[in-house]
Structure 1
Amino acid sequence: MIEVRYSAAPSSVETATTADLRESFLVQNLFRPGEVHGVYTHDDRLVVGGAVPGTGQLELPAWDALGTASHLERRELGIVNVGQSGHVLVDNEKFELQHLDGLYVGRGSEVVFAGADAAFYFVSAPAHATYPTTALSHPTIEPVALGTAAGANERSLYRYAWGQELQTSVLQFGVTVIADGSVWNTFPPHLHDRRTEVYLYVDLDEQDRIFHFLGQPGATRHLVLQNREAVISPPWSIHSGAGTGSYAFVWAMGGENNTYTDLTPVALEDL
């Protein structure tokens, strides 16, 4: 099953009801046992999805919204296992993925998900070229330390595909882990004028929530999310959040370029 989302104008956020905001930007219910679910957003044509194989196997679907015979006929794919041990078959080659391990899959491949305790999150983006499938083990990625404990935004940034080292067409993705005692992510916030970004929040306890801020600087709104829910951030929107407990999030971007540092900082006085 796939849901299609259309682009929203920046001004629409300022007057939207909470229900309107959730309908436009919140992604829920991706992870259902034995199923694959996705959302196709017209913002940079990204597809975000979840696959929970259970005791069987699940193929990456060629949904009608893509207009192709296979999902990756004209796309590339990033995968992060937000569950426990599982594996992904890429053209019958097996890749084992533990919790928060990633996998980049190049254009044209066939993908199958497996693992009784696994929960695979994936993002695909249009691709103009084919690059090699690459396993991305979370423990082997050297994190970038960001923020401070005093600012309540201490975090570790794990860059899986970010425009350097691993070559992709447009897709970038990785994982950020918030340090114990900190609450803020991506703070102070910024904008990506030429890229859409999606956050999937993971590893929250059942009683905890994320307060995610979106919209143009000076006219922001917020959404309240629970574990394994995502937010679509169009190029004109900031993306920042705070949690009531420990958490991590998977970030993924696609758009006109894949230069990781192509962003516009937002000063706190402009919020």
Structure 2
Amino acid sequence: MDIEIRNPWHPDDAKHYTTDRMRNDFLIQDLFIPDKVKLVYSHVDRIIVGGVCPSEKVLTLEAGHELGVDYFLERRELGVINIGGPGTVILDGEEYDLSYKDGLYAGMGIKEVSFKSDDPANPAKFYLNSAPAHHTYPTLKITMEMANKRPLGSVEGCNKRVINQYIHPEVCQSCQLVMGMTSLEVGSNWNTMPCHTHERRMEVYLYFELGEDDVVFHMMGEPQETRHLVMRNEEAVISPSWSIHSGVGTKNYTFIWGMVGENQTFDDMDDVDMKDIR
């Protein structure tokens, strides 16, 4: 199992990046390859983003040289959300069945983490976020019904959506990882606009429920130096603390957000006035 390393970026440098450089550094593609584990280790708050798609095999998370530990969760915590067919996460021999959009929090200290699918023809797609941890919290399976729900936006603003908080103090204890899912209603295609940054934590978005010909224009960069990435179904993007992270799609869509950093206060944001965006 290989771990791809992504180094951090200074905003003064990133404003000069070409489209190819932006895509190579911030965009994460091909997350769900059958019978493969793909992991990207970002030095921005040391988050690990990954995809596990077991088909014929049972797949296991391994520590690797990059982590310098004996097992993956020796000094880390893990969030998992399944966006594929039904499957199972196995934590030290205990099985947790995850259907579509079910989530799971696994705390520091679990030695064996494995994944399998119920049906090889309809494999699970386990999306992973992992952060360094300092304390062990209990494992918890989190369904969509258990998520803390925050409706936002309006039809008039083309951004009517529901934020579903999964790994969040209202639902689940964790060290620093916060994770959830935002669903846009039909007819809405904007997310996180008006935009914001949050200096105290970074964020990763995974966009999904997009058709083959649909795209999301993901807005990023400093508020006065914005750039965009064209993103397609089941692709993720790394957003440093200094960057906005908004998007507009050719249709409504769903995205999973994961945050790592200094605090877990969801509303701790540095809002940007629309008149100040460039």
Q: Is this a same-fold pair by TM over 0.5?
A: yes
Corresponding residue of 1:160: 166
Displacement, 1:144? 1.2
* CA distance in 2: counterparts of 1:97 and 1:121, whole angstroms: 12
Q: Provide the rounded CA distance (Å) in 2 between the counterparts of 1:256 and 1:146.
A: 25
1:194 aligns with 2:200: yes
Partner of 1:112: 114
For residues 142 and 196 of structure 1, do their structure 2 counterparts lie closer, same or farther at Cα, with a shift above 3 Å needed? closer
Q: 2:130 is matched with which residue?
A: 124
Deviation at 1:68, TM superposition (A): 1.0
In the alignment, does 2:184 pair up with 1:169? no
TM-score by length of 1: 0.98
Q: What is the one-letter code of the residue matched to 1:107?
A: M
Corresponding letter in the other structure for 1:45: R
Between the aligned partners of 1:200 and 1:230, the Cα distance in structure 2 is 4
Matched residues, number: 271
Partner of 1:134: 140
| Identical counterparts, % of pairs | 46
- 3-state SS, counterpart of residue 143 of structure 1: strand
- 8 Å contact from structure 1 (residues 13, 221) kept in 2: no
1:122 Cα deviation from its structure 2 partner: 0.3
CA distance in 2, matches of 1:69, 1:258: 28
**Partners of 2:165 and 2:171 within 8 A in 1:** no
Deviations 1:201-230 (A, max 9, x none): 111111100100000011100000101100
Deviation, 1:142, is 4.4
Q: CA deviation at 1:187?
A: 1.3
CA contact (8 A) 1:163 1:260 kept: no
Residue of structure 1 in register with 2:42 after alignment:
41
| Matching of residues 20-31 of structure 1 within 5 Å | 20-31=21-32
Please state how far the C-alpha of 1:108 moved relative to its aligned partner: 1.1
Q: Displacement, 1:55?
A: 2.2
2:74 corresponds to: 73
- How far residue 263 of structure 1 moved from its aligned partner, in angstroms, is 1.2
Amino acid at match of 2:116: A
CA distance in 2, matches of 1:60, 1:185: 32
Q: Cα deviation per residue 1:40-93 (whole Å; 9 max; x = unaligned)?
A: 000000000000000221001212211111111000000000112111111111
In structure 1, distance between residues paired with 2:273 and 2:94 = 47
**SS class of match (2:225):** coil
Could you tell me whether the CA contact under 8 Å between 2:76 and 2:108 is conserved in 1? yes
**Separation (CA, whole Å) in 2 of partners of 1:90 and 1:96:** 11
Segments of 4+ moved more than 3 angstroms:
none
Q: Runs of 5+ in structure 1 lacking a partner?
A: none
TM-score (structure 2 length as normaliser): 0.95
Cα RMSD, aligned residues only: 1.0
